């Protein structure tokens, strides 16, 4: 602190002279020190990449885990803690997250950063039409913690029926009753078990609760973490006003864990006679390539895009596709198929509140956060409030989730970076900004929870390192019909006394291609959805879990890749059907169950 103060005063001596100058200097120094302290309370695991490279290919490891994201960090940390004598190598393509990822309110600003893989979907002429190059951006975390370093931190399990379905199609041991203990364990671990949690203050919580109650829906608030019909305030993974990166949290209990950062795994080395995973081929950021051997297993936790990509590069995937890529097919499996995602789009409403935030106030609020870790920057605004409906009569299972945002009038701080980060084209951004110039904006986002469309991940022949993402949004007509029904429901909200009292009315976002249709008709909304709908960053299912006789599956209920040995997948790609919720909680439960599956397999003394 003294050195910092001396440096400031020497740079600009006169303003910091005298008693008032000294007091001001101390205040400035305190603010700078507070900003620095955001990272001071935690040290990421050491990068052992150079040491691993120096030891060379002659050294082997009991387990090699690919990916230090939501699942991989938990898996590596827990296994290292349970079996401290094992040598566990965790390989991560990225580095430590930066300071921006620590601040909850900056969640929209982490997109397209060094912490983001910045994937893009292949244009199909049917969706993502209002985005740059008619391609949706799929942000996925790159670095320690993976997507838990850039996501919205929302914790929801899903609906119990989601996991019962997993079991009913042959994945025994994966029903909701089997997974409850893992959900409860991680909720205890992250200290989010208290249903009386007071939450954050936001006037919109009460406004939206009131409108939904007019329509006969119950407010569940923090009662549980399951997605049931009604409204809910979800818990977010924050602590002391900062993001609770799952890797950061789990690594605190790691033991004897070897981490390689800034290292790409190019393929898994497979014995072509036995189909046994022998290790991995890697390339470090320095350009050095080498092979590393695994004595027991290779575990892929690279996520729903990189995991199938890596399998195919290793010779495991659809035979026709691999042969077209000049890759020898070792195991013919439907890798990359069954891709599912939650699709959502914004509806913007004007209000009579017309709140504005002067830049001076934003600076004061930022200072408040830096000094106390409280205030608007310590949470995610209205994004943790959500509601669930079923568009099917008398169904207790939701198929539509509503997310919400609120932008003050003439928002110069969040709106433009958000719209650009999502990837909307200039026409769409200007149209929304014009509305915001006149009004504050309530954003209501219908989200498709149970899509019937299926996409796929492929590899590009001209550049095998870049995956082709065919989202196939709205390919199934039922998906569009469900979203149109969601819009009809939103009109019911608009008619409530609560909305009317505040002048909350739906606005027309001008899109040239949709102007030929009358506003508020099905034809208009279909055009609007095809232009405005995008990912909510929940891709799953590309290495589907199912019994071996299911020719659409890739891994069994023990997570071992069919017809292989010592190759296991532990991430969201194994989900047979996407849960009706944000997917982080279910991904953590998969990793926890994987730890128990591995522990049971290696429980006998001769295996240790």
Nearest CA-CA partner of 259 in 381, 94, 383: 94
18-22-23-26 Cα dihedral, nearest 10 degrees: 170
Per the DSSP assignment, residues forming a β-bridge with 30 are: none
SS3 273: coil
- Whether the CB-CB separation of 433 and 416 falls below 8 Å is answered with yes
- How are the residues of the chain apportioned to helix, strand and coil, as percentages rounded to the nearest 5? 35, 20, 40
- Whether the CB-CB separation of 363 and 222 falls below 8 Å is answered with no
In a 10 Å sphere around its CB, with 0-12 CB exposed, 13-18 middle and 19+ buried, how is residue 23 labelled?
A: exposed
- Whether the CB-CB separation of 577 and 156 falls below 8 Å is answered with no
Nearest CA-CA partner of 542 in 510, 588, 495, 575: 575
Segment (H or E) for 163 = helix 160-168
Report the greatest alpha carbon distance in the chain: 82
Nearest CA-CA partner of 471 in 459, 456, 481: 456
CA-CA distances (angstroms) from residue 555 to 453, 471, 546? 21, 22, 6
Tell the residue number behind the tokens 């566990």, with chain if given: 88
- Whether the CB-CB separation of 397 and 161 falls below 8 Å is answered with yes
DSSP string, 383-409: TTEEEEE-SSTT-SS--EEEEEEEE-T
- Whether the CB-CB separation of 443 and 432 falls below 8 Å is answered with no
Per the DSSP assignment, residues forming a β-bridge with 233 are: 385
Q: H helices of 295-390, where?
A: 303-313, 319-324, 359-372
Question: 445: how many CB neighbours lie within 10 A of its CB?
Answer: 19
DSSP string, 482-536: HHHHHHHHHHHHHTSHHHHHTT-EE-----GGGTTS-TTSHHHHHHHHHHH-EE-
Nearest CA-CA partner of 477 in 453, 447, 455: 453
Flag whether 52 is marked binding: no
Question: 584: how many CB neighbours lie within 10 A of its CB?
Answer: 23
Specify binding-site residues: 265
Query: Which residues are part of a known binding site for FAD?
Result: 265
């Amino acid at each position: 602190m003294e050195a910092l103060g001396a440096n400031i005063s020497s740079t600009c001596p006169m303003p910091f002279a005298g008693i008032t100058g000294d007091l001001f200097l101390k205040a400035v120094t305190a603010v700078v020190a507070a900003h620095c302290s955001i990272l001071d309370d935690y040290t990421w695991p050491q990068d052992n990449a150079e040491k691993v490279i120096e030891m060379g290919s002659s050294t082997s490891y009991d387990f090699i885990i690919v990916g230090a994201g939501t699942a991989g960090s938990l898996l590596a940390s827990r296994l290292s803690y349970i079996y401290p004598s094992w040598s566990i190598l965790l390989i991560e393509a990225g580095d430590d997250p930066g300071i921006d990822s620590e601040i909850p309110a900056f969640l929209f600003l982490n997109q397209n950063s060094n912490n983001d893989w910045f994937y893009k979907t292949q244009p199909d002429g049917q969706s993502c039409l209002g985005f740059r190059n008619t391609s949706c951006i799929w942000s996925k975390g790159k670095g320690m913690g993976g997507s838990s370093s850039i996501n919205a931190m929302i914790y929801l399990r899903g609906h119990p029926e989601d996991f019962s379905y997993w079991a009913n199609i042959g994945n025994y041991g994966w029903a909701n009753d089997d997974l409850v203990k893992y959900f409860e364990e991680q909720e205890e671990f992250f200290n989010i078990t208290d249903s009386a949690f007071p939450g954050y203050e936001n006037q919109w919580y009460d406004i939206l609760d009131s409108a939904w109650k007019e329509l006969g829906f119950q407010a569940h608030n923090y009662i549980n973490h399951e997605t049931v019909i009604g409204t809910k305030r979800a818990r977010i993974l924050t602590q002391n006003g900062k993001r609770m990166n799952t890797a950061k949290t789990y690594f605190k209990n790691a033991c004897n864990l070897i981490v390689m950062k800034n290292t790409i795994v190019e393929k898994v080395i497979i014995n072509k006679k036995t189909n046994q995973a022998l290790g991995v081929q890697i390339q470090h950021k320095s350009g050095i390539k080498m092979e590393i051997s695994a004595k027991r297993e290779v575990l892929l936790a690279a996520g729903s895009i990189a995991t199938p990509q890596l399998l195919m590069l290793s010779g495991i995937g659809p035979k026709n596709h691999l042969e077209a890529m000049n890759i020898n097919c070792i195991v013919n499996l439907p890798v990359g198929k069954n891709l599912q995602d939650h699709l959502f789009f914004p509806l913007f409403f004007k209000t009579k509140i017309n709140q504005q935030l002067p830049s001076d106030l934003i600076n004061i609020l930022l200072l408040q956060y830096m000094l106390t870790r409280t205030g608007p920057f310590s949470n995610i605004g209205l994004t943790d409030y959500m509601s669930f409906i079923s568009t099917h009569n008398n169904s207790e299972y939701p198929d539509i989730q509503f997310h919400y945002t609120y932008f003050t009038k003439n928002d110069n701080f969040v709106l433009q970076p958000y719209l650009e980060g999502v990837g909307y084209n200039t026409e769409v951004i200007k149209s929304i900004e014009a509305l915001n110039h006149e009004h504050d904006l309530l954003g209501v986002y219908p989200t498709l929870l149970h899509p019937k469309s299926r996409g796929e991940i492929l590899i590009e022949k001209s550049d095998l390192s870049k995956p082709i993402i065919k989202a196939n949004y709205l390919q199934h007509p039922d998906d569009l019909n469900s979203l149109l029904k969601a819009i009809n429901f939103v009109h019911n909200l608009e008619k409530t006394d609560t909305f009317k009292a505040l002048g909350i009315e739906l606005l027309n976002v001008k899109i040239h291609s949709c102007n030929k249709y009358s506003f508020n008709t099905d034809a208009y909304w279909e055009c609007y959805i095809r232009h405005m709908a995008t990912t909510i960053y929940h891709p799953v299912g590309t290495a589907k879990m199912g019994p071996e006789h299911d020719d659409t599956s890739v891994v069994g209920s023990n997570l071992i890749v069919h017809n292989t040995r010592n190759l296991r997948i532990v991430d969201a790609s194994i989900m047979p059907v996407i849960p009706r919720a944000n997917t982080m909680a279910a991904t953590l439960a998969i990793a926890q169950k994987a730890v128990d599956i591995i522990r049971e397999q290696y429980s006998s003394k001769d295996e240790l």
